[in-house]
Structure 1
Amino acid sequence: MSQLETTINNYFENRSEVKLDSVQEELRHAITDVINGLDSGELRVAEKQNNSWTVHQWIKKAVLLSFAINGNKPIDGGFTSYFDKVPQKFSGLSEDEFNRIGARVVPPALARQGSYIAPGVV
């Protein structure tokens, strides 16, 4: 078990003590690392292994903990507004950044930070 997995599991065991207004830096960093891993495709909540699906519970727990440590914020969606805890993946990206992703993002596409978008996806 990795240190990251251990940290997430320990905080999840004591999740009733995790409060929006007093988040431990260790937890914030651990959740950020997991969300970034999901965002890049390095981590997956579930994956097919040997013809069956495996759910990585500790990653699922990290996502659930992220909801506990982040409050809802208004998000400008151009033609509409949102009120969510998770930042939008494509918010404020430049043309070069979109080109690096290698995917087409067509209106009214919406993806949250932590969602993996593979190159070539439309």
Structure 2
Amino acid sequence: MTLESDIENLWQRYQDDTGTDAVGSAAQSTLDAFLEGLETGEIRAAEQIGDSGPDAWEVNEWVKRGILLNFGLRETEAREYGGVSYYDVLPLRSTTDLGGRGTRNTPDGTAIRRGAYLGSDCIMMSPSFVNIGAHVGDGTLVDSCDTVGSCAQLGENVKLGANTLIGGVLEPVEDAPVIIEDGVSLGAGCRVTSGFHVGENTVVGENTLLTPRIPVYDLVTDEVVYGHLPANRRAFTRYVESSLSDHDLFESGAYKPAVVALDIAEDTLDNTRREEALRE
């Protein structure tokens, strides 16, 4: 039996029993082993199977089911973190393994939930939060007031500016989570939600909202795309005319947010490299 088959069997029992009666000592061991697999990076909610782009990623539905089982089959307990009492089904993740990999999390508010993975040479600035199922690649910076949602997949050498939100996508289990590929830099205040995919080496301007409902005007290919920002782009928010402009209530016209993507300039890359040097 594999961990995947154990989770699938437990999921079926849970669906049939519709309650915590499906939990026994063996089931508890399966849930614990599952969380450990997420924390070591041996299992992931989504995996890259190609070079780049949304089609290069595959969702592991059984992993999402395992996360849902941990919520459905565990009891809420009183816990404590930093002198504050709270109630949850899971404790925070142990951080004793991080130092050996050169990863650091600053005090006073860096919270990593059980089932989250942080790679080598990562930095978590306080306050920040990484949720269950999230995968944070080597060399990635999670800055102050950042949130990395459940199952989000962050590549290597990603930079999240302060006050950035990476949304979580846990259900439906077949839906892809938010994916940020290697070398991406997100400016302060960005929001990436609803399974949006950001291609590698892209630099996104501050306060940009990336969600499948907002169009991306890719001026490199002269296309309008949704849910995906191609690789090697420089992107920022602009406003374009809305069809509501024809309505009588909008005498001066109506506008909606859009994302404009340009070919990334070498000087932008140089600025990113200078930022990297400051962290070394």
> Structures share a fold, TM > 0.5?
yes
Residue 5 of structure 1 corresponds to which residue in structure 2? 4
Corresponding position: 1:70 with 2:74: yes
* Structure 2: unaligned runs, 5 residues or longer: 124-280
Answer 1 or 2: which has greater helix percent.
Answer: 1
Residue 49 of structure 2 corresponds to which residue in structure 1? 49
C-alpha distance in structure 2 between counterparts of 1:10 and 1:89, whole Å:
26
- SS at structure 2 position matched to 1:64: helix
- Correspondence 1:1-122 to 2 at 5 A: 3-16=2-15, 17=17, 19-20=19-20, 23-50=23-50, 51=52, 52-78=56-82, 80-90=84-94, 93=96, 98-106=98-106, 107-122=108-123
Paired residues in the alignment total 117
C-alpha distance in structure 1 between counterparts of 2:14 and 2:62, whole Å:
13
Deviation at 1:21, TM superposition (A): 6.0
C-alpha distance in structure 2 between counterparts of 1:74 and 1:4, whole Å:
29
User: Of the two structures, which has the highest relative contact order with CA contacts closer than 8 Å and spacing of 6 or more?
Assistant: 1
The percentage of aligned residue pairs carrying the same residue is: 26
C-alpha distance in structure 2 between counterparts of 1:8 and 1:42, whole Å:
15
- Give the alignment's Cα RMSD to 1 decimal: 2.2
Answer 1 or 2: which has greater strand percent.
Answer: 2
For each residue in 1:21-43, what CA deviation from the matched residue of structure 2 results, as whole angstroms up to 9, or x when unmatched?
A: 66222222222111101011111
* Structure 1: unaligned runs, 5 residues or longer: none
From the CA coordinates, give the structure whose radius of gyration is larger: 2
The two structures have a TM-score, normalised by structure 1, of 0.80
For each residue in 1:32-91, what CA deviation from the matched residue of structure 2 results, as whole angstroms up to 9, or x when unmatched?
A: 111101011111111221132211111111111111221112222225332211111137
From the superposition, tell whether residues 82 and 102 of structure 1 become closer, same or farther in structure 2 (CA, over 3 Å): farther
- SS at structure 2 position matched to 1:42: coil
Q: Which moved more, 1:71-80 or 1:42-51?
A: 71-80
The two structures have a TM-score, normalised by structure 2, of 0.38
8 Å CA contact 1:73–1:84 kept in 2: the answer is: yes
Superposed structure 1 runs of 4+ greater than 6 Å apart? none
